[in-house]
Amino acid sequence: MSRMNHPIRRVALVAAMMFFALLANLSYSAVFRDASLDADARNRRTRDAEFAMERGAILVGSTPIAQTKASKGRFNYTREYSEGPLYAAATGYYSYDFARAGLESSYNTQLSGTDDSQAFGRLMDTVTGKKPAGASLQTTLDAKAQRAASQALGTRKGAVVAIDYRTGAVKALVSKPSYDPNELATTDLAAAQQAWRKLNADPGRPLVNRATKETYPPGSTFKLVTAAAALEDGRTADSTVASPASMTLPQTSTKLSNEVDCGGATSTIDHALQVSCNTAFANLGMELGADKVREQAEKFGFDSSLEGDLNPATSRFPASPDKPQTAMSAIGQFDVAATPLQMAVVAAGIANDGQVMQPYLVQEVRNPDLSVLTSNDARELERAMDTDNARALKQMMVNVVTNGTGTAARVGGITVGGKTGTAQWDLKKNPYAWFVGFAEEPHVAIAVFIEDAQVSRSDIAGGRLAGPVFAAVVESMR
């Protein structure tokens, strides 16, 4: 009898071990994998549950730009965007088959009411029998600035970012071409799939957020960083630097020339910035060396995430450029790459007396009863410059708009400073046009980037094309 029980005991032991392993896996999944499984785009059970509850609104001022409304059919609710294309770069989209983007993604758990910080509210809803609902987002956007930026950019590919340089609050965030999030949020899943295919096939890439998610050569706007490095290294606005009409880059046969008359064989840094003298800043970059220029760029946010709720792409300064590469990097070429957000942060840091603030898009997250769940306050990221040096560079930027290449950005009655940029990236294609600057009242820093100006190559210039867009945004915020 004992021999007969032995195999049975072995089978029972194996069964017990398998049962224990199953319990262990279930426990591990519940504790450690629950959040990732819920967030998995393939988890239809979670998506069905989300579409069965009221998602929180996204607001500009008191106006909802994204909200959930009751729906008939398979889902209880559908997401609606009142001015979809205008705010798409900020809101993103909320779709059954194509997940989320923008604020709909970065604040998904709060909007859906499933965030850990909302656990008590969910418990009280269960006890009282109240229908659960998600939190709302109060954005920092300024409706007038957003509309002015979009209208001034028009049908041209590009982006505009405006920041309150005292706090880091984003006042305008525009990317063109845009798209209508309603087409992806529809509960007609066949129509949403057709819209998805069409948007992804569009050569204009409307789903790409050019303001925060793409990097581009910043061209001469990066001369602000090089000028900042020079001032921090002990030079002044009146320090001189060689500014020949053209120069051969060291160790190469490559010629670097100027687009303008720099006014002689030498130039002050102030005058070189006003006229955007390439050879002067290339020489200045080589004098400083790559390490000092890179250190200055990193103080403004390059080679880091900038943190916050915008989740931007990382702007880059090359890791170990040689001398000619350093010269080109100092004028925003070679492998320097920046988002429009990053260049707005550079201008904001200079305007804020050298203190860089963390950019953010959401001011408050509010429970359905309007109590504040979380809030974003002004947060200092890095001191990029000494206060006196920053004020000297601000005055140099004012001189660019008053007497230099940035006159198209003037706004009557408002002190404005800036820097133009025309970035060559492909000899067979038109260069990019930039304008980066600030206004003292309103306290705003703005980056305007035009990827496709829709004009002939000879007419492309950062000041002429991007400057008026800057001016229009400042004018809207008076």
Residue 42: pLDDT over 60:
no
pLDDT at residue number 126: 64
For the four alpha carbons of 346, 347, 349 and 353, in that order, the dihedral sign comes to positive
Tracing tokens 């909007």 back to the chain, one arrives at: 111
Buried b (16+ CB within 10 A) or exposed e, 62-83: eebbbbbeeeeeebebbbbbeb
Using CA atoms, how far apart are residues 173 and 213, in angstroms rounded to an integer? 12
Residues in the chain: 478
Asked whether residue 76 is assigned to any structural domain, the reply reads no
Mean per-residue pLDDT over the chain, rounded:
90
Asked whether residue 244 is assigned to any structural domain, the reply reads yes
Structural domain total, the chain = 1
Taking residues 41-58, report their average pLDDT: 75
Lowest model confidence (mean pLDDT) among 17-21, 45-49, 314-318, 371-375: 45-49
Residue 116: pLDDT over 60:
yes
Closest of 268, 257, 429 to residue 331, by C-alpha: 257
Lowest model confidence (mean pLDDT) among 4-8, 178-182, 259-263: 4-8
CATH of the domain at 458: 3.40.710.10
Give the 3-state secondary structure of residue 65.
Answer: strand
Q: Judging by beta carbons within 10 Å of its beta carbon (0-12, 13-18, 19+), is residue 419 exposed, middle or buried?
A: buried
C-beta of residue 83 within 8 angstroms of C-beta of residue 65:
yes
Asked whether residue 466 is assigned to any structural domain, the reply reads yes
Residue-by-residue DSSP string for 393-442: HHHHHHHHHHHSTTGGG--TTS-EEEEEEEE---TTSPPEEEEEEEETTT
Strand-pairing partners, residue 173, are 161
Q: Is 304 a catalytic residue?
A: no
Residue 221: pLDDT over 80:
yes
Position 458 confidence tier, pLDDT thresholds 50, 70, 90: very low
Residue 117: pLDDT over 90:
no
Catalytic residue among 106, 220, 315, 329: 220
Q: Judging by beta carbons within 10 Å of its beta carbon (0-12, 13-18, 19+), is residue 122 exposed, middle or buried?
A: middle
Taking residues 173-197, report their average pLDDT: 96
Position 454 confidence tier, pLDDT thresholds 50, 70, 90: low
Taking residues 354-371, report their average pLDDT: 96
User: Residue 228: which domain range?
Assistant: 219-362+377-476
Using CA atoms, how far apart are residues 395 and 416, in angstroms rounded to an integer? 10
Tracing tokens 């009411």 back to the chain, one arrives at: 113
Residue 300: pLDDT over 90:
yes
Q: Give the distance between the most distant pair of CA atoms in the chain.
A: 109
pLDDT at residue number 455: 52
pLDDT at residue number 457: 43
Residue 380: pLDDT over 50:
yes
